[in-house]
Homo-oligomer: A and B are copies of this chain.
């Protein structure tokens, strides 16, 4: 692909919204502040197919004339534009809703014009003087005759007739003014005229705003990460895709819907890391899966010990049968013996001694990895090849990619590559694994990543969690940044988990799973309470799977699996937990207890979660929850059904005592059930 082709795709460099002008000074309508918008239309707003997309705009004109306002929306490349009338809410703010029916890239904008016919009608309505009304009727006749000219068929005939009748009525001294006014204000004919407005002076908003419509899993998903090489059932044997297949029923039963693997490619032998990140290997050491590429191949190949391409395709299909989508880890970097290094030396930055500086993410050093040079003079070749890696795995059935450290690769590349892939495969989901500075993480989300890792792992106190998730659910990122919090990852064993307390693991799981619509865990380490760090103060696991095979207990009842199963079931069954925007933190007078509510878009499903952040002590407090805020009359009791314990509590008023014992369950996930009374005067809660 040539450079000009790459740039023609339009997504590789910053770009201002397209200017669309009216080029006629007589255009008097003003269209301003069309929302939602990300950076003036430079980036797309994200939604899910079937969602109602609400657009608002400020529209007005000079003087007292009536503007008419239309929302236009269309699928990228589709010449047909849908158009619908927006409604005035108040204070010059107009709104319109539409539902994009399918996934893909859309655009929307707002057009408006000053409507002479409507302005005339409004004006006429408040006239009382007979001469005024007769004159107004003649003015209207002219407007209506013009509308007739623009119409055809029955409308044309009806309007022409109406214009004539008004003209004649105005001239007829015997026609009563009240009758004339009634004729002029005829609703049906008015609606007919309204269908044929003069739009020659319409104003278009200066930008056509982009909208990415994803499938629901982009917005709501439960991830389970495992290392296929540890999926075997005998200690010491390298696991395979076939082994993973035997784990599918258990993982699906736990309620996950995304099964994510670290890289599955041949692992470099040069500079291979030993166990616990040692710089030298022992015989049999398997190396890090992120040190991609060896004689057997690179990013489009499979580590032979895991199986064949056919095995992989079989696994992907089997997973799908279990309701699981396979997510692949895409790490754009090379082991020193990756075939790219010899075939494309221009893609690396060579030093005077003929070496390449290995990758670093201070303080971490990746001696087994060469980074790509995105300033390569062959950047077009590099971009095309990297994008073809996605194409390859999509052809193998992969639909979701977790991208490793995207913030150490060129932003322009991501915007182009994700745009291109989604143009051809709009259902593809990209998760950005960028644990870096906030503005960089936001940029990646704007560029096209569907989901983003978060700082959740390091947000532990009530204050930190409240502040962070308020930002995530209410801040500007809400239009494009979909958080995907994880209690642990192969790289992050937070100090909070290093005590190995079951209550802490449960609390962190409930927080991730209920605070955000997307979440994930790295298992089986998580549910088996793996908690020893490589060394004190480290967030690295001891004997990490990153550098060695592990052998796990795969029985369905082991560790937290039953608990996780229940939490995921609650997530699936409660629409309130499928979104982020409704999140509201509730007042509770104990710093170790955190409480928040979420509700479904229609407000009928309300879930209140309370978590004890202290893994050792029972904590209690008074939770403030006003019945009115959850759709219950203030004087009525309501039932709180704890979906974790299946207990039901009847609450009334606005202050509610809550106690959580960490050695039992450190959380409530409470479904609000409202009272109904049947014909026999029995009360039920539904």
Judge whether A355 and B413 touch: CB under 8 Å: no
- Please, what's the 1-or-0 string for A127-141, where 1 marks a CB less than 8 Å from any CB in chain B? 000000001001100
Q: Which of A18, A25, A407, A439 has the most CB of B within 10 A?
A: A25
Smallest Cβ distance from A349 to chain B, in angstroms? 9
Q: Which of B17, B24, B416, B437 contacts A25 (CB 8 A)?
A: B416
State the CA gap A400–B595 with chains docked (Å).
Answer: 59
Contact A355/B411 with A23-B13, A25-B12, A207-B16 known, Cβ cut-off 8 Å: no
Smallest Cβ distance from A119 to chain B, in angstroms? 11
- Chain B residue at minimum C-beta to C-beta distance from A21: B13
State the CA gap A17–B207 with chains docked (Å).
Answer: 10
Contact A375/B201 with A380-B25, A408-B63, A437-B92 known, Cβ cut-off 8 Å: yes
State the CA gap A3–B27 with chains docked (Å).
Answer: 13
Judge whether A26 and B353 touch: CB under 8 Å: no
- Please, what's the 1-or-0 string for A550-573, where 1 marks a CB less than 8 Å from any CB in chain B? 000000000000000000000000
Q: Which of A28-36, A292-300, A309-317 is the contact stretch? A: A28-36
* A31: chain B residues within 8 A (beta carbon): 14
Judge whether A374 and B203 touch: CB under 8 Å: no
> Any chain B CB within 8 A of the CB of A547?
no
* A63: chain B residues within 8 A (beta carbon): 371, 407-409
> Any chain B CB within 8 A of the CB of A7?
yes
> Any chain B CB within 8 A of the CB of A538?
no
* A25: chain B residues within 8 A (beta carbon): 3, 6-7, 12-13, 379-380, 383, 410, 412-413, 416
Judge whether B13 and A27 touch: CB under 8 Å: yes
* A353: chain B residues within 8 A (beta carbon): 135, 138
> Any chain B CB within 8 A of the CB of A19?
yes
> Any chain B CB within 8 A of the CB of A626?
no
> Any chain B CB within 8 A of the CB of A40?
yes
State the CA gap A371–B62 with chains docked (Å).
Answer: 12
- Please, what's the 1-or-0 string for A403-428, where 1 marks a CB less than 8 Å from any CB in chain B? 00001111111001000000000000
> Any chain B CB within 8 A of the CB of A360?
yes
* A342: chain B residues within 8 A (beta carbon): none
> Any chain B CB within 8 A of the CB of A280?
no
State the CA gap A352–B379 with chains docked (Å).
Answer: 69
State the CA gap A15–B24 with chains docked (Å).
Answer: 13
State the CA gap A360–B15 with chains docked (Å).
Answer: 45
State the CA gap A24–B440 with chains docked (Å).
Answer: 21
Task: Give A204-242 interface residues, CB cut-off 8 Å to B.
Answer: 204-207
* A21: chain B residues within 8 A (beta carbon): 13-15
Judge whether B410 and A28 touch: CB under 8 Å: yes
Smallest Cβ distance from A72 to chain B, in angstroms? 15
Judge whether B439 and A138 touch: CB under 8 Å: no
Q: Which of B58, B205, B407 contacts A14 (CB 8 A)?
A: B205
> Any chain B CB within 8 A of the CB of A60?
yes
- Chain B residue at minimum C-beta to C-beta distance from A59: B439
> Any chain B CB within 8 A of the CB of A438?
yes
Judge whether B26 and A379 touch: CB under 8 Å: yes
Q: Which of B93, B352, B439 contacts A135 (CB 8 A)?
A: B352
How many protomers of this protein does the assembly include? 2
> Any chain B CB within 8 A of the CB of A584?
no
Smallest Cβ distance from A190 to chain B, in angstroms? 20
Judge whether B16 and A19 touch: CB under 8 Å: yes
Task: Give A363-413 interface residues, CB cut-off 8 Å to B.
Answer: 371, 374-376, 379-380, 383, 407-413
Judge whether A62 and B374 touch: CB under 8 Å: yes
> Any chain B CB within 8 A of the CB of A22?
yes
Q: Which of B18, B28, B30, B379 contacts A375 (CB 8 A)?
A: B28
State the CA gap A437–B93 with chains docked (Å).
Answer: 11
Judge whether A91 and B438 touch: CB under 8 Å: yes
State the CA gap A438–B26 with chains docked (Å).
Answer: 23
> Any chain B CB within 8 A of the CB of A641?
no
> Any chain B CB within 8 A of the CB of A443?
yes
State the CA gap A353–B91 with chains docked (Å).
Answer: 36
* A351: chain B residues within 8 A (beta carbon): 135, 138-139
Contact A439/B205 with A25-B380, A26-B375, A62-B408 known, Cβ cut-off 8 Å: no
Contact A412/B28 with A13-B22, A19-B15, A374-B62 known, Cβ cut-off 8 Å: yes
* A438: chain B residues within 8 A (beta carbon): 91
* A60: chain B residues within 8 A (beta carbon): 437, 439-440, 443
> Any chain B CB within 8 A of the CB of A652?
no
- Chain B residue at minimum C-beta to C-beta distance from A361: B64
Judge whether A352 and B28 touch: CB under 8 Å: no
* A92: chain B residues within 8 A (beta carbon): 437, 439-440
> Any chain B CB within 8 A of the CB of A42?
yes
- Please, what's the 1-or-0 string for A142-178, where 1 marks a CB less than 8 Å from any CB in chain B? 1000000000000000000000000000000000000
Which residues of A are in contact with B by a Cβ distance under 8 Å? Answer: 3, 6-7, 12-19, 21-28, 30-33, 39-40, 42, 58, 60-64, 91-93, 114, 135, 138-139, 142, 201, 203-207, 351-353, 355, 360-362, 371, 374-376, 379-380, 383, 407-413, 416, 437-440, 443
Other than the known A17-B17, A92-B439, what 15 A-B pairs have Cβ atoms closer than 8 Å? Answer: A13-B24, A13-B25, A13-B27, A14-B31, A14-B204, A16-B18, A16-B207, A17-B40, A28-B412, A30-B443, A60-B439, A60-B440, A64-B362, A135-B353, A142-B352
List 11 A-B residue pairs with CB atoms under 8 Å apart, sorted by A's residue number.
Answer: A13-B203, A15-B21, A15-B206, A16-B207, A28-B412, A32-B39, A40-B40, A60-B437, A60-B443, A62-B408, A135-B351
